[in-house]
Amino acid sequence: MKTLKVALISLRDVLVRKKLEKEPLVEAIKLLQFLAKSGVQIAMVSNSNWVMTDTQKPFTDFLQEAAGLKIPLHIKGVDFRAKQDSGAMADVLKKYGATPQEAVYIGSTDEDMQATRNSGVLFLNAKWYADNSPYGFEFASALDIARFIDCCCLRPKDWFWKHEFDGFRVLSIAPLAEVSKRYPEGAKYSTDAKAAAKFSRGDLRYWGLLMASRIHFSGIGAEVDYVCPYPGHRTDSPKGLLTNALKIVAGSLKAQYLDDLLVRHASAEKSQAIRNSGRQPTPENQLKTTRLRKDPVRTGKLALRYKSPPLRAGKKVLIVDDICTQGHSFEAARLFVQSTGADAIGISWLKTPGNDYSRVSFVDPAIKSPYLPYSPVKVRTIPHSFNAGIVNNLAAQEIGDAFQAYGTWVWPT
């Protein structure tokens, strides 16, 4: 997992507009000072220079004096032809020894959005001066961006749990710890995260932003061609509001968000209900009730369906689920995706502690068409140790602290 090294900041409608306004300017200066104190390099980028009309002094000089900081400016015609050119911002980042996966871009216009998509940088859409662009994660204030950077970019140091085999990765942000003796510090955030994922309650914005940052800083966003959610257990399960964050981050990072690539063609028994009845959940519960759709809806201004299946060799799909317990959902999705020749990565917000991952090693009959309902006769699994997959044993504490701070965040004194 990489960490945030550089914040690229556009001038127009982020740091300035045609007329200076004291309150947003003061807040923007606080953001610059917060970034500098946090060890994040700040670089201004612009397609044009701005000059103070009364003194003819460059605005950037005025800003640096007001903030008490030295902030480099990269400008069109000197450092790049236009900031929205392919790779332009990536070239700027090289000057600071940073990759696009170690940066965010704070902008406001459609040009800013194009700059991020063409360079692989996460777009933070500043809305305090103007509502210029419908893309990216929207932030109503400089404080809102500062707390996102503090609580979602700088604090969680790594994934909590990870398992990898045969080119497939599955990762989780934090342990599910509502009643965990092992991770008692995770009880509060776990309850909120479950409410957000399953019932569209809780702090939806925090969990959406946290997932976006993990996808970006891990580099997974740069790998994948498609992002899709795993469906609910019923055929008529509504899409959770938290999936809106997946759509936004997919668009910011040049991947297609496929809302209904994975469909539930028959309702599945809830895993908890199976356990309550004295049985154990198995992969068959997911394999028999899900399939791929040949013509999923693609993101964009027009919600058009693909005319032919988008998955094939050389493509990679990011599958996102709320909770990973034994991995039956991810395994069903993996087998269906891999049967098209494509690759897959699985990510969940939470991982249930103590439960080993159950990898499907054999199915009979083989999956010939992932677009049709499938009913396996025989399934073999291999358990993979939960403990062996722990990447960051401090994740519960880190996420717990960040979640609490996010709700009460104020400018540091």
Query: Which helix (H) or strand (E) covers residue 384, if one does?
Result: strand 378-384
Could you report the per-residue pLDDT of 5-59, keeping only the tens digit for each?
999 999 999 998 887 788 889 999 999 999 999 999 999 999 888 888 778 888 8
| Distance, CA of 261 to CA of 238 (rounded, Å) | 15
- What percentage of the chain reaches a pLDDT higher than 70? 99
If one counts every other C-beta atom within 10 angstroms of the C-beta of residue 274, the result is 15
Selection from 218, 170, 191 nearest residue 386 by Cα? 170
Could you report the per-residue pLDDT of 122-160, keeping only the tens digit for each?
999 999 999 988 888 899 999 999 999 999 999 888 999
Selection from 139, 162, 161 nearest residue 152 by Cα? 139
Is 75 within 8 Å of 46 (Cβ atoms)? yes
| Distance, CA of 190 to CA of 399 (rounded, Å) | 10
Q: What is the 3-state secondary structure (H, E, C) of 36-93?
A: HHCCCEEEEEECCCCECCCCCCEHHHHHHHHHCCCCCEEEECCCECCCCCCCHHHHHH
pLDDT confidence of residue 199: 85
The full set of domain ranges for the chain reads 6-154, 161-393
Give me the mean pLDDT over the 208-215 stretch.
93
Query: Which helix (H) or strand (E) covers residue 103, if one does?
Result: strand 103-107
pLDDT confidence of residue 95: 95
From first CA to last CA, the distance across the chain in angstroms is 29
DSSP per-residue string spanning 281-297:
--THHHHTTEEE-SSPB
| Distance, CA of 266 to CA of 271 (rounded, Å) | 15
Is 228 within 8 Å of 262 (Cβ atoms)? yes
User: May I ask the CATH class of domain 6-154?
Assistant: alpha beta
Give me the mean pLDDT over the 242-250 stretch.
81
Give me the mean pLDDT over the 274-294 stretch.
90
